[in-house]
Structure 1
Amino acid sequence: MRVDLFDFDLPPERIALRPARPRDASRMLVVRAEGAFEDRIARDLPAMLRPGDVLVFNDTKVIPAQLEGRRGEARIGATLHKRLDLRRWQAFIRNAKRLRPEDIIDFGADVTALAEQRHDDGSWTLAFQGEEPVEVLLERAGRMPLPPYIAGKREMDEADREDYQTIFAREEGAVAAPTAALHFTPQLLAALDEAGVKRETLTLHVGAGTFLPVKAEDTADHAMHSEWGRIEQATADRLNAARKAGNRVIAVGTTSLRLLESATGEDGVIRPFAGDTAIFITPGYRFRAIDGLMTNFHLPKSTLFMLVSALMGLERMQAAYAHAIEAGYRFYSYGDASLLLPD
């Protein structure tokens, strides 16, 4: 499909620079297959769901994955993208033209990395030096990797260290937050429990590739970056049992959705999964694992707007986003939520 079909006019002031406080006070647009859109707030979620529905969350934890360093006199910026092994990460590099294989980058605080090789997409493999765990090095020298549309407008501060983590964050490895879950509070979870809504978790370590623009003119020519994920056998069993009983599986966030769909066969059975996924969902895709999605509002021509258009239909999502823009909803990572229920 032509990428320009997914374009729309988004006023820059609609991109949220701070989250709602409290988190569950954020707005939530309910979009069904037909009928009027419903303007709600996140804490209304229990009333929008049915007893037995299962919400699936991503328990990945964002690491301080942005680094500023030097190679000689040259300033080098690195955003870690994907872990390769205990000491090596694939990273997007700023000022990469000043970098050569075997160069050492000094990130300060006694943190250095060897630039091993450049990849076809322009990223580099960095091998961190020394014996301390890389997680310790990043805590010392790294910063939280705020999305570029926020970082370009304000400096990161101490509040972001908490604001950019979900309450489910447990498994370290993401360089971007699964932001749909940022709307959840202990109070909202208690209300969901009381309403009989179940919840499960999986792990998908979100990579910086989620922020990369689609440069191709046709979706068929866009290459997704892979991300590592895991679904346990027991989790898959419970989700399959819920669907067999006629209950809905609703992904909280596009990351949860993409991993669930990657783990599900043509027969609709969700299987345990551990490995990389580069699934790219566009209109025409037949969903196998999920019956709904809670997600934030996405940017024009992004792979995520393509995904929600695949779920609800392009015209329906164009109308929903036009409504959201007119009604003052806040977009993207720190923005408001939408609840998409296709059936």
Structure 2
Amino acid sequence: MDVKDFWYDLPQELIAQDPLEDRASSRLLILDKEAGNISHKHFYDIIEYMDEGDCLVLNETKVIPARLMGVKKDTGAAIEILLLKRKTKTAWECLVKPGKKCKIGARIDFGDGVLCGTITDIVEEGNRIIDFEFEGIFEEILDKLGTMPLPPYITHALQDKNRYQTVYAKNEGSAAAPTAGLHFTKELLERIEKKGVKLAKVTLHVGLGTFRPVKVTDVNEHHMHSEFFQISKEAADIINSTKTNGKRVICVGTTSTRTIESAADENGHLEERSGWTDIFIYPGYKFKVLDALITNFHLPESTLVMLVSALAGRENILHAYEEAVNEKYRFFSFGDAMFIN
């Protein structure tokens, strides 16, 4: 399977730079995964496509202000780091720019010495392990010194950092938002629950591996970075009973999808679980739990386009993307949504 099979043409002007004022007023493309039929709605219409007894799976992860600007202690050179994975109470795996200047033993100051880090190791992809020294609570320091790590295709400054969080974000640890969830408002979720749809809340801390470009020609040779996930007994029970009752499990986003598909046994049964997953879902994959998916429009040749192609078929997805381009939908993190039903 060639990576070029997942390419599509996207005009630059369709990449959304700012979130809409009203989250739920995004446009919504409805794709029938079997027939390939397409219809156009608004996101607040999503409730029409859910039935009593269905289950909506939400990723409760919260984005941390993971981008830090510092200076190398011995030379004063500007260094930018992005926190990727917490390894211990004080150590993180980080993306460091420029990496060449940061060898093992290098020390970096942030916020005039409020936070200081020492590079202790170099791991895969050239990422650095940085051990931090600080007084007080790390999360509070990060809140003061760090900024939201918006994707590189968003060039506008974010006016309200909460717009890069879902309204149900709870568990801190992500380097990027689970963006399909950005369309929900508290009011819309309340209406969905009143209709008798259950909410199953899971956590997957989104790392950059989800968005890492596929650098190999043969898709089968791509390897995903691992990300931490957690499923509570309550969430597992809700999802299991939904399947038992013959109702649908609808995931909000590819991160929720990867969480439940990683944790399920061969029969699609879930137990309370936490751990690391590097699951890579692409055409040929047989879904064990997922029935339907709410998702955004993803980058060409990305693992996310491959995941939705596994669900709805590559031709159906590329046709839907072509339709979205023709209809001038907004793309990527702050863009419009698709419901694969």
What is the TM-score with the length of structure 1 in the denominator? 0.96
Q: Which residue of 2 aligns with 1:81?
A: 84
Give the structure 2 partner of residue 40 of structure 1: 41
The answer (yes or no) to whether the contact 1:90–1:125 under 8 Å persists in 2 is: yes
> 1:211-251, CA deviations, whole angstroms, 9 ceiling, x for partnerless residues?
32111111122111111010012211121011100110010
Letter in 2 for 1:100: K
Question: Which residue number in structure 2 is paired with residue 114 of structure 1?
Answer: 118
State how far apart, in whole Å, the 2-side matches of 1:227 and 1:270 are. Answer: 18
Consecutive unaligned residues of structure 1, counting only runs of 5 or more, are none
Residue 141 of structure 2 aligns with an amino acid whose one-letter code is L
8 Å CA contact retained: 2:18, 2:158: no
Q: Does 1:327 align with 2:330?
A: no
- Report if the CA contact (8 A) 1:80-1:208 is conserved: no
Task: Report if aligned partners of 1:14, 1:329 keep a CA contact under 8 Å in 2.
Answer: yes
Alignment map for 1:198-213 (pairs within 5 Å): 198-213=198-213
Q: How many angstroms apart in 1 are the aligned matches of 2:10 and 2:286?
A: 28
Assess if the C-alpha contact under 8 Å between 2:108 and 2:118 holds in 1. yes
SS at match of 1:86: coil
Q: Please list, as runs of the form range in 1=range in 2, the aligned pairs for 1:60-71 lying within 5 A after superposition.
A: 60-71=61-72
User: Offset at 1:14?
Assistant: 1.1
68-77 or 249-258, larger mean C-alpha shift: 68-77
Question: 1:92 is matched with which residue: 90, 95, 99?
Answer: 95
Give the residue type in structure 2 aligned to 1:256.
S
Distance 1:140 1:333 in 2: 24
Residues in 1 aligned to 2:51 and 2:267: alpha-carbon distance in whole angstroms: 25
Q: Deviations over 1:4-29 (max 9, x none)?
A: 11111111111111112210000110
Structural mapping, 1:275-290, within 5 Å: 275-290=275-290
Aligned equivalents of 2:294 and 2:304: distance in 1? 12
Counterpart of 2:126, as a letter, is G
Query: Shift of residue 286 of structure 1?
Result: 0.5
- Whichever residue aligns with residue 335 of structure 1, its letter is G
Q: Aligned with 2:169: secondary structure?
A: coil
RMSD: 1.2
Shift of 1:331: 0.8
**Is 2:321 the counterpart of 1:318?**
no
Q: Secondary structure at the match of 2:224?
A: coil
1:135 to 2:139 alignment: yes
Secondary structure at the aligned position of 1:271 is classed as coil
SS in 1 for 2:188: helix
Deviations 1:100-123 (A, max 9, x none): 101111122411111111113111
Helix, strand or coil at the partner of 1:148: coil
Give the match for residue 170 of structure 2.
Answer: 170
Count of residue pairs brought into register by the alignment: 337
Aligned-partner Cα distance in 2 for 1:142–1:157: 14
Are the structure 2 counterparts of residues 35 and 305 from structure 1 closer, same or farther at C-alpha, using a change threshold of 3 Å? closer
**For residues 187-230 of structure 1, what are the alpha-carbon distances to aligned partners after superposition, in whole Å with 9 as ceiling and x for unaligned?**
21122123222211001111122232111111122111111010
**1:35 Cα deviation (Å)?**
5.0
Tell me, in whole angstroms, the C-alpha distance in 1 between the residues paired with 2:229 and 2:263.
10
Residues 55 and 238, structure 2, Cα contact 8 Å, conserved in 1: no
Seq. identity, % = 44
Q: Is the 8 A contact 2:198 2:238 kept in 1?
A: no
Q: How far apart, in 2, do the equivalents of 1:194 and 1:130 lie? A: 46
Separation in 2, partners of 1:22, 1:120: 40
- 2:185 corresponds to which residue? 185
8 Å CA contact 1:79–1:208 kept in 2: the answer is no
SS, match of residue 140 in structure 1: helix
Question: Partners in 2 of 1:185 and 1:56 — Cα distance?
Answer: 15
Structure 1 stretches of 4+ with a deviation exceeding 6 A read none
TM-fit CA distance, 1:274: 0.5
SS in 1 for 2:153: helix
Q: Aligned with 1:191: secondary structure?
A: helix
- Which amino acid in structure 2 is aligned with residue 128 of structure 1? F
Q: Structure 2 stretches of 5 or more lacking a match?
A: none
Partner of 1:103: 106
Residues 147 and 211 in structure 1, CA contact (< 8 A), matched pair in contact too: no
- How far apart in 1 are the matches of 2:289 and 2:43? 24
For each residue in 1:9-66, what CA deviation from the matched residue of structure 2 results, as whole angstroms up to 9, or x when unmatched? Answer: 1111111111122100001101012153110111001111211111000011111000
